[in-house]
Chains A and B, each alone.
Chain A
Amino acid sequence: MDDTNIFDDDLYRQIIIDHYQNPHHQGALECPTHHLEGFNASCGDSLELDLKIEDGKVTAVGFEGSGCAISMTSTSMLTDLILGKSVEEAKRITKAFKARLLGKDEDGCEDVDIGELEALDGVKAYPVRIKCALLSWNTLSEGLEHPEGLIMQ
């Protein structure tokens, strides 16, 4: 067996394993302005994403759910990236990341800093896993369209 790629895996990079095993901002918010639910039927991955948006800015974020390393890591990175950002900035990050994974050119995304999300580039080689990486972002998108608040119970 070829062991050379274990410590520099093209898909399961160390930073992904770290986020998966110690996800950031895990747990529901007490008083969210947004409670969003996402589900991937084919993998059974489920996500509940809470946001607090005040004056057009994400002031708190938390999530609960279960899923594969890719979807959990992507969610954890999402929470790091959007916390403290304006709704407009969060939308631009979402658009840039989706375009990057789906291999599309998206105007106005060139200068967006997607930070650690670059580590998920390896997913592009596994088309069936792209939906794992996008679950939290698709869930977030729905909330960002309603900056005034959205509680889906």
Chain B
Amino acid sequence: MSLSDMSSEMSLGDLRADFPVFADGDPERPLAYLDSAASSQMPRQVIEAMVNFQSHSYANIHRGLYRLSGASTAAYDSARQTVASFIGASDRNEVIFTSGATASLNFLAYSWGEKNIQAGDEIALPLSEHHANLVPWQQLALRKGAKLRWIELTPEGTIDWASLQEALSHRPKLLTFAWVSNVFGTVHPVAKIAKLAHEAGATVVLDGSQGVPHLECDVQRLGVDFLAFSGHKMLGPTGIGVLWGRMSCLEELPPFLYGGDMISIVKRERSSWAEIPNRFEAGTPNITGAVGLSAACAYLSRIGFADIRSHDLMLMEYAIRRLEEAGATVLGPKDLQQRSGVLSFRYKKLHPHDIATILGRDEVCVRAGHHCCQPLMREIGMTGTTRASFYVYNTRADIDRLAESLAKVGDIFHIAPCPCTKIGHKPAPLASDAAPCTQEESCGECSCKLLNQSH
């Protein structure tokens, strides 16, 4: 795959051939993999990079006084450089390899949090945060007697601006939030939020788990202080992720994990620390994982984020249309530009696990449940949603499979098409401004609660 084989009309789905998983199974019923927000599939370029490295260049890094260790150290350092360039970091030493976004955020909650948070301090975060960017801060607050300040969301899943400003007026020490919501797919305006937060004196942490795989990342433009993300949601392997920090911020941080590789001098009573980033990478790191992540960055860079973005939006627009035609209710922003590759929906009043089980039998892979966002689900009064998420290898055919399989769910549960949709009424459960339905019966899912009795 190179830029030259991709004309503007060509769907990114054509690079499916790079992904061995799609060659498996029944050609009559190919895999419709719509769960990349949980974990993406890996192209052979990434698999081969790891196999080659592990086969021919692997040894422990640093201090090995032989050729292989030198090769391994060079590959690890080069991976750090590739990742740094990929996210627009000015210094490769600002990239700390972790086991994933969860480890990156926990690192911050311990290292930054233990140093900077005192009793009575506030930590501000939206209610829609993934448990990985919520529980570490909640537990820090409990340890310190600090307070979590929740930022509310609009019914569409965007950040409630008044609530954000109210939270910042309390001058929190930290604002932490996801670039892209893993439930609504909302793309939050990071630079704008970071600027306001800095003016209020807060340190800004960004959970880039859903953002970095889909949107061009330039940490200078984003304007945050720390960024966490995972390799396995961006075509890389599991067990590798990144914590990026502005060097001036990293220099203030105490180490969190202690051990080999992170020290300078160890005496009986005390030790001094290695330079950044080694200071924050105790023990033997996931060297092969870093090589895989680097290959994934290179693969994504070759496609280019302009094409990745337009492919996402093309799939999103098509999926919203097909799902609404099938009688599903789509959550999240109506404005396509405010969405990334995550699409949560409800189908009639059925439980997401019943839906996902039936779709799964058709090799349509979606995720169902609370998506590690229990406080959000409680707030919007749902036990969960069904979530389809897209990536570079998905095609409209995958969406067709989703819609067809969803119709089968309707058949199994004897759900007749809603009269609302027959008269062209778009179900809109979270918005109160939709025109009321005048039919005697409605699906019970749309906002026309006036005559609302489910069939």
Size class of B's contact patch? 20 to 34
CB-based contact B412/A12 at 8 Å: yes
In the bound complex, residues from chain A placing their C-beta under 8 Å from that of B354 are 12, 68-70
Report Cα–Cα, A132/B411, bound state, in Å.
22
Q: Which of B374, B404, B412 contacts A9 (CB 8 A)?
A: B412
CB-based contact B405/A1 at 8 Å: yes
In the bound complex, residues from chain B placing their C-beta under 8 Å from that of A11 are 357
Report Cα–Cα, A88/B289, bound state, in Å.
56
Digit string of A35-68 for contact with B (CB within 8 Å is 1, else 0)? 0000000111110000000000000000000111
CB-based contact A17/B412 at 8 Å: yes
**Are A68 and B351 CB-contacts (below 8 A) given A43-B384, A44-B369?**
yes
Digit string of B401-418 for contact with A (CB within 8 Å is 1, else 0)? 000110010011110000
CB-based contact B404/A129 at 8 Å: no
Q: Which of B350, B357, B370 contacts A44 (CB 8 A)?
A: B370
| Residue ID in chain A nearest B349 by CB atoms | A66
Q: How far is the CB of B353 from chain A (nearest CB, A)?
A: 5
Q: Which of A1, A12, A45, A46 contacts B362 (CB 8 A)?
A: A1
In the bound complex, residues from chain A placing their C-beta under 8 Å from that of B412 are 6, 9, 12, 17
Size class of A's contact patch? 20 to 34
CB-based contact B358/A129 at 8 Å: no
Q: Which of A12, A42, A45 contacts B358 (CB 8 A)?
A: A12
Contact residues of B between 202 and 245, Cβ < 8 Å to A: none
**Are A44 and B405 CB-contacts (below 8 A) given A6-B412, A132-B353?**
no
Digit string of A107-146 for contact with B (CB within 8 Å is 1, else 0)? 0000000000000000000100100100000000000000
Q: Which of B351, B377, B404 contacts A69 (CB 8 A)?
A: B351
Q: How far is the CB of B152 from chain A (nearest CB, A)?
A: 21
CB-based contact A66/B383 at 8 Å: yes
| Residue ID in chain A nearest B454 by CB atoms | A21
Q: How far is the CB of B401 from chain A (nearest CB, A)?
A: 9
In the bound complex, residues from chain B placing their C-beta under 8 Å from that of A68 are 351, 353-354
Report Cα–Cα, A9/B358, bound state, in Å.
10
In the bound complex, residues from chain A placing their C-beta under 8 Å from that of B408 are 1, 3, 6
Report Cα–Cα, A132/B370, bound state, in Å.
16
Q: Which of B350, B353, B411, B413 contacts A129 (CB 8 A)?
A: B353
Digit string of B334-372 for contact with A (CB within 8 Å is 1, else 0)? 000000000000000011011001100010000001100
In the bound complex, residues from chain A placing their C-beta under 8 Å from that of B353 are 43, 68, 129, 132
Contact residues of B between 410 and 431, Cβ < 8 Å to A: 411-414
| Residue ID in chain A nearest B411 by CB atoms | A6
User: Interface centre among A66, A68, A132, by most B CB within 10 Å?
Assistant: A68
Q: Which of A3, A6, A9, A43 contacts B351 (CB 8 A)?
A: A43
Digit string of A10-48 for contact with B (CB within 8 Å is 1, else 0)? 011000010011000000000000000000001111100
Q: How far is the CB of B360 from chain A (nearest CB, A)?
A: 9
22 contacts between A and B (CB under 8 A): A1-B405, A6-B408, A6-B411, A11-B357, A12-B358, A12-B412, A17-B412, A17-B413, A17-B414, A20-B413, A43-B383, A44-B369, A44-B370, A44-B374, A45-B351, A67-B351, A68-B351, A68-B354, A69-B354, A70-B354, A129-B357, A132-B353
Name A residues whose Cβ lies closer than 8 Å to a Cβ of B. Answer: 1, 3, 6, 9, 11-12, 17, 20-21, 42-46, 66-70, 126, 129, 132
